[in-house]
Amino acid sequence: MHFKILEFSIAVLGVEKDASQRQIQKAFHKLSLQYHPDKNKNKGAQEKFAEINNAYEILSDEEKRKNYDMFGDARGSPGFDGGEGGNHGGHTFFRSGGPGQSGFRFSPDEWQTMGGQSGGSKSYSFSFGGNSGGSSFGFDLGDVFSNFFGGGGGTKFGNQGGSHSGSRSSPKSSITSINSQTYKKQVIDKGITWLLLSYTPLMRGLQHYESIIEEIANSLKGALEVGSVNCEVESSLCKELGIYPRNRPRVYVYSYKASESGSLHEYTGEVTVKDLKQSVLDHLPKFSKRVTWAQFEAESRTKESIPKVMLLSTKKDTPVIWRALSGLYLKRFVFYDTQVQDVSDPAANRLGVSEVPAVVGWLSNGEKQILKMGIHAKDMKSTIKELRLLLDDFEKINMKIAASSKSKKPNADSDSVKELAVPLLTATNFDAICGEKTPVCIIGVFRSSKGKEKLHTILSSVSQKSLIRNPRDSISYGLLDASKQSSFLYAFDKSGFTSSDKLLIAYKARKSKFSVFTGYITSEEVEKFIGSVLNGDVQFSKMRQKPTFK
């Protein structure tokens, strides 16, 4: 029975004619593992393995598959059939040796005439879309029938005007071809993990490695890049990196697992999708700090020159997408992530998050912004792209703020210096300034611009002095605008201190206690009040509730 090339390939992999690429890949992986020469030493296994690889090469390439189906030719040249003999419109056809044979049998009676029987002569003129010139038998069976010969070596008929090395094609175009220049520009310390294949063209099993790598790349698009180095062409690069292949291709991960600088790690496990993918996941960046909400509150007091971002998700471990982003934005953002049960979690409540997963950002000046809530990941690539746009925009905002602050030339009396010395308390910075980690927080409450200016001047001066029993880190200072935060004051007293234009509150968050000074505000009186607070000479009252901001 004579098989057409497409039909034979379908039969080799055991799939239906309309099989999807996913079904073809699964069939190929299963059979290639079963007949791999390193595992299967039975007679005929090597030939079977070659058939499997070459069948996959045809069926996995949509263009080749279409051309073979319509014309019988990988190039789409009409009139070429790999299984039927005869004269069709002036083109020659010939038969294959059928399944189970690695070559093709040709005999004189199997070649058909070209262009009819005029004058009783037979004309042999072949045209297969190759180089023009050379003898009439100027075509390369290796191009069309390499799937039946294994190892990529083709049988050459005639001279095509150039030498033929017999080498197979390089890896598929979806795998980036790496040379010295691209390695320096695209791989080294770019923050993204790479899966790299080093090979020489005639190596056995190369297509198996390629298909595994491509499948992993497709499942981790956006978080992973894949490339290949032809060490026959890029021998100096392979030797420089120490990745020159021996008897078979070698697989490497360019990883940030060990440090902020990337490094190559050879993969030596089983070359299967499951095992190699798990190794890649282990090597993805881990620059996001996995923290509890309490830990983040403590760390948030540390001032950074770059913005911070926090991911709130229900995942037990840092999600792959967030790990990938932490590498891409290394030294541009400080990354955090925390696990929440749902939107009722205290962390979500504190940040004003009503839907998770969510990303919250903090500018270098402490201002908080909710960047994204209810993140729905359609696929990894598009989700990473969407989050990158958010982070890029947030980074631009931070850069504008930093540039604005640098353009000002503050002096001792400028507002920028004053705000730096005694900050205005907000929902965002209150826990960092007056939270439970601070033994005593002195809050200057004002209702007018004049009251704010006076309190700020006095507290700025007092905060620079060393008061009795006052280690610098045991007391903090802040200002509160009572006209905008009246609900905050009701937590201390039901009157809200509405009769006072200026007052001081000594607040102990850890004990939920407070003491108030409503007397005449001068530097001397304020120092005296704070000294009494630190010496234990002031009576503290129990708070009505925890203070809240509008």
304-332 pLDDT, tens digit each: 789 999 999 999 999 999 999 999 999 99
Residue 301 pLDDT grade (very low, low, confident, very high; cuts 50, 70, 90): low
**Average pLDDT value for residue range 186-205:** 93
Query: Can you give the pLDDT at residue 45?
Result: 83
- Tens digits of residue pLDDT in 46-102: 888 888 888 888 887 777 666 666 555 544 444 333 333 334 333 333 333 343 443
CA distance 458 to 383: 51
CA distance 119 to 275: 67
193 sits in which H/E element: strand 193-199
Of residues 85 and 213, more confidence is placed in 213
Q: Which CATH number, 3.40.30.10, 1.10.4160.10, 3.40.640.10, 3.30.565.10, labels domain 417-542?
A: 3.40.30.10
β partners of residue 250? 198
Equal CATH topology for 176-283 and 295-407 = yes
Query: Can you give the pLDDT at residue 26?
Result: 85
- Tens digits of residue pLDDT in 398-448: 998 888 766 655 454 444 433 446 889 988 888 888 988 889 999 999 988
Query: Can you give the pLDDT at residue 4?
Result: 65
Query: Can you give the pLDDT at residue 70?
Result: 57
CA distance 447 to 137: 98
Burial state string for 84-119 with b = 16 or more CB within 10 A and e = fewer than 16: eeeeeeebbbbbbeeeeeeebeeeeeeeeebeeeee
CATH no., domain 295-407:
3.40.30.10
Query: Can you give the pLDDT at residue 534?
Result: 85
- Tens digits of residue pLDDT in 234-243: 999 999 999 9
Sheet holding 502-508, edge to edge: 475-481, 440-446, 502-508, 513-517, 541-542
> Environment class of residue 540 by beta-carbon count within 10 Å: exposed (0-12), middle (13-18) or buried (19+)?
middle
Instruction: Output the pTM of the full model.
Output: 0.49
The third-level CATH classification (topology) of the domain covering 176-283 is Glutaredoxin (3.40.30)
What are the structural domain ranges in the chain? 5-115+131-157, 176-283, 295-407, 417-542
Cα torsion through 532, 537, 538, 540, rounded to 10: 130
- Tens digits of residue pLDDT in 233-287: 999 999 999 999 988 999 999 999 878 899 999 999 999 999 999 999 999 999 9
Residue 42 and residue 48 in contact, taking contact as beta carbons nearer than 8 Å: no
Query: Can you give the pLDDT at residue 167?
Result: 38
Q: Chain-wide mean pLDDT for the chain?
A: 77
> Comparing 343-352, 410-419, 534-543, which segment has the lowest mean pLDDT?
410-419
**Which superfamily, per CATH, for 5-115+131-157?**
DnaJ domain (1.10.287.110)
